[in-house]
Structure 1
């Protein structure tokens, strides 16, 4: 018999009754019922119940072993009997009567319980992450991640893509976030950068003649944590294709996402095809460029309705309306709670009216609306008895953010939200540039490597703020999974695009020397995308925080509490790297 096990803890069934077996695992739980010990033994594969009877060496041994110790047991498989079957366990029809026990690894007192999902401080969980990962939910999430990545690889190969690796040590690049840098011992005073993304290298692979590339790529960005963003590092499905237009990129990715979410989404349907929504339309209708389409409500821009209005709250403001059917009969509490929600987002309040049975409007602001206002709102919003309308006013960005969140919250509260479904969409036609309101400077609004719609002619003849890029995002249930673009592969277009954003020719030639040199040797039109693996798994696992789907994440301050990173270097190591440390002065 094998030194540690003949079977795993998830393997035994009724057909094994009478068999002598050897199991190894962690002591998950222990119960003393009438002097008989019942032990749950757990390994990667599942749980098997052990039985130890009084007066036996096995009883004496297992009675003393601390929870989460590792043990090896020998015993005989017996039936639990019809009345004692545990339907929640695949091994629930049998148990093992233990004859011999070997303690393999004793466990110290536990900082938190493993066999329950009791609330534990996240810092504590990350400090003892090796214990946290033993818990059923976390173990399931990490195995889901493993299965998702394996499936992605298989599906990408089937779609004709080739997996390739790109460098981890590279040069700095203005990707939009801070680089993590690595000092070079052999080149004093110089630094490598860890890749924020394999952007330039995957484009160079296309220029090198490799037609369809993918990689499960580690990316490194020195940025703050969010619920859907892990600080420090993350993984993405990096994809690039040659001789393609926008729709050519959409087709394989849409197929991949549909199949992936159908495979791992627990039976929740995936709506297909994915709608294409222009950026500006998305901002007006949904108040966001990552709309949650499960909310069956839309915003309407009614700014023009109140131009020149004497209603001071709306005068000179951008005004957005949210009509909600079948809620006019709700109590005042419903309206007040939605207003309180808007206030938490930074609004001063939430104006609203109800539509009565005779079509007239009542509510806090009804008296400020003229007959012309009411007629236009009724027509524009298709109002009918039972409707309520919520209003937001302010600067475009501010009102979009607030009313976008109110749209989703109102849908949930009013029964206009579709649960149990994955609703994807493509957001397209992003502005190529944006203006900094404080400095007036024109800068890239999305990806500086994107091809502008209209090419060089658009750059030379159009107002920069009117130019659209061949840029796109894929969004699922309000979560942005990825950005992508058709790349700018022509040197003169790239130089002009950067010139508009304030970069002189020499600077661009210096910072992107490798790319520009490659473009001048016959670059194919190409494009790609990079869906975030962590976010995909977060959605599939129905977890609100991305750290719950990563085996060993950093905390919100980009610290590894388990391993103690980041650490200081001693003076010998600093001299070897030609570095000195300048710490910030106490305030």
Structure 2
């Protein structure tokens, strides 16, 4: 312990055999009480660990009497001597397992009601709504405590790493202006300016670029960000980013910095293995073609293979229908899958249907080489064999195909690929497979809005040789964009930015923003670029997702101290909640009755 305080001279996790006969004062929570008919044992717990306390009536009747009254989660102070445990009673699983405290006195500092779920065991499953309602109790449990400590260590290592390389930690405002950045803003009404609103930042994107214009050429921030969008396992209404921006850099400079930092983070805070270093680089097209997603899990292979050209042969209606609608046919090889039962194949097919597929076309290669598939009725043997060879099928393999639009085929097979890897036990939980995805297109075309939209954000720079294509072929422009992927999760993304006002204005115009809209929403930024904006670029890493992966959790709520539910509710505080009319009046607001039913509350 770094320093002593009034209620304790040591923590419950630091005493060992070197402290024998030391007189100590411990304070903490009663993790467990055991009465052995005369001797009472208390396991005393704090954030740092657990120490056994023995209460012997022959040594201190008063301490024994108080020990007989305490219950789990009482807060107590114990004074006593550090002694060896009796031979054969040591606990090798605990750092303090060689010793115990012989109690001289015990004081109850506070009492506890019976907790709504057990605190002293992670083995007992507790419903998440109950855990979130009593999060302050949930955080006492070992695995939650360890997750929060791991998060602290990761953030500290990030800060130390960047500080050593000349970066400045600079805070940016939480109350900002609402600007279109891809997701719905959280709005904050102004009391002083009737009918006007602040917005909570989706990210500090514009501000960090303005810091580069200001000449503060290496910036970072552990930034709180807010997006009012539908929730999922790796998303929250409010989340934390490591936000980084640098001046006078190329894509390789930013990626090199972050790659080195992530390697050191993994080595210092986990026992996991990094599958490949330097991290492989995949183009956006290569990732989509081979894995069906721009955030592939590379801990296993199982590539996707397009066979649209081969599927055009024969008379198979499912393939013909998809191809005539400008779709594709794409497949996945499942090693050893030819032996799956009808029920197992039906379960896989139903899984694909839940993801949007109309079904799965199957081709099983029997051990003798015989092919069992509906394709054999509609295609010549050599045409079927060409498909088998394209997927490098071997006897015993099962080939699965989706025929649909490119979006549906890729999305279904990307998720099916992960499911089959889990089934085949090809995923090593102790491995970290990181990669960079690069060469993104600058734009995609939004059919609903009938306009070009930024693939990531409108501030991304572009290949200088492609700038002239803004007038002729905007969809054929390579963005200076890069995403960092870990075990199938996008954990960060960034770009080298546009730093010329007219080029930035041109991008906004292609997104069908009027001159008035551009000036209203981004005029401050464009004006700043006219005062000598240096070349600059940066990245933002999702702290919550990184900690989730480092901690082997499936949900970011497990690594956030006080998260919201899947439906964006705070069960502990009871938010969101109604406010009184006085507050609404001060903010010049009136609540209108909702035309549609509200979302269900947990």
**Alignment partner, residue 114 of structure 2:** 109
Per-residue CA shift, 1:265-286, capped at 9, x if unaligned? Answer: 2233352111211212211210
Structure 2 CA distance, aligned partners of 1:445 and 1:54? 73
Distance 1:35 1:363, change over 3 A: farther
8 Å contact kept, 1:261–1:270: no
User: Residue 42 of structure 2 is aligned with which of 22, 39, 42?
Assistant: 39
CA deviation string 1:299-349 (max 9, x = no partner)? 111111112531011114210011234444555555444334323323333
Q: Relative to 1, partners in 2 of residues 1:563 and 1:171: Cα closer, same or farther, differing over 3 Å?
A: same
Q: Post-superposition shift, 1:494?
A: 1.6
Point out the more displaced range, 517-526 or 370-379.
Answer: 370-379
The question of whether the paired residues in 1 share the 8 Å contact of 2:467 and 2:477 is answered with: no
CA distance in 2, matches of 1:560, 1:327: 45
Per the alignment, residue 287 of structure 1 pairs with 292
Q: In the alignment, does 2:177 pair up with 1:177?
A: no
Q: 8 Å contact 2:505–2:518 — kept in the other structure? A: yes
Answer yes or no: is the 8 Å Cα contact 1:307–1:316 preserved in 2: no
Counterpart of 1:376 (choices 369, 383, 386) is: 386
TM-align CA RMSD: 2.1
Q: Of 27, 31, 35, which aligns to 2:30? A: 27
Structure 1 runs (4+) greater than 4 angstroms displaced? 329-334, 356-360
**1:444-470 CA-partner distances (Å, limit 9, x unpaired):** 2321111233453120121x3333322
Q: Does 1:459 align with 2:465?
A: no
Q: Which of 143, 157, 168 is residue 162 of structure 1 equivalent to?
A: 168
Which SS does the other structure have where 1:205 is aligned?
helix
The alpha carbon displacement at 1:89 in A equals 0.7
* Pair 1:68 & 2:73 matched: yes
Partner of 2:409: 399
Q: How far apart are the structure 2 equivalents of 1:66 and 1:414?
A: 47
Q: Which residue of 1 aligns with 2:105?
A: 100
TM-score, with length taken from structure 2: 0.92
- The residue aligned with 2:550 is 540
The structural deviation recorded for 1:2 is 5.9
Structure 2 counterpart of 1:211: 217
Deviations 1:521-545 (A, max 9, x none): 2211211110000111000001101
Aligned equivalents of 1:320, 1:351: Cα separation in 2: 10
Equivalent residue for 1:483, pick from 485, 493, 509? 493
Q: Which residue of the partner structure matches residue 14 of structure 1? A: 17
SS in 2 for 1:313: helix
The answer to whether structure 1 residue 58 and structure 2 residue 63 are counterparts is yes
Higher mean C-alpha deviation, range 513-522 or range 430-439: 430-439
CA separation of 1:575 and 1:336: change in aligned 2, threshold 3 A:
closer
Equivalent residue in structure 1 for 2:334, among 324, 343, 348: 324
CA contact (8 A) 1:297 1:416 kept: no
State the 1:258 CA deviation. Answer: 1.2
Query: What's 1:492 paired with?
Result: 502
Aligned partners of 1:517 and 1:586: how far apart in 2? 43
Change (3 A) 1:308 1:375: closer
Residues of 1 paired with 2:396 and 2:207: CA distance?
A: 57
Contact kept? 2:494, 2:537, Cα under 8 Å: yes
What's the CA shift for 1:397?
0.6
Count the aligned residue pairs: 585
Q: Retained in 2: the 8 A contact 1:353–1:366?
A: no
CA contact (8 A) 2:466 2:477 kept: no
User: How far is 1:74 from its partner?
Assistant: 1.3
**Distance in 1 of aligned mates of 2:423 and 2:575:** 44
Who is 1:431 aligned against?
441
- Please list, as runs of the form range in 1=range in 2, the aligned pairs for 1:82-97 lying within 5 A after superposition: 82-97=87-102
Deviation readout 1:108-143 (Å, 9 max, x if unpaired):
221111001221121111111111100001000000
The CA deviation string for residues 407-454 of structure 1, in whole angstroms up to 9 with x for no partner, is 122223235444421011111122222233445433223211112334
User: Hey, what's the Cα distance between the residues in 2 that align with 1:414 and 1:11?
Assistant: 43
Secondary structure of the equivalent of 1:314?
helix
Given candidates 152, 166, 173, the residue that maps to 1:146 is 152
* DSSP-derived class of the 1:488 partner: coil
With over 3 angstroms needed to count, the CA separation of the structure-2 counterparts of 1:455 and 1:346, relative to structure 1, is closer
2: distance between equivalents of 1:196 and 1:2? 41
The aligned counterpart of 1:502 is 512
Deviation at 1:380, TM superposition (A): 2.4
Cα deviation digits, residues 358-378 of structure 1 (max 9, x gap): 644223444333234224224
Aligned to 1:272: 277
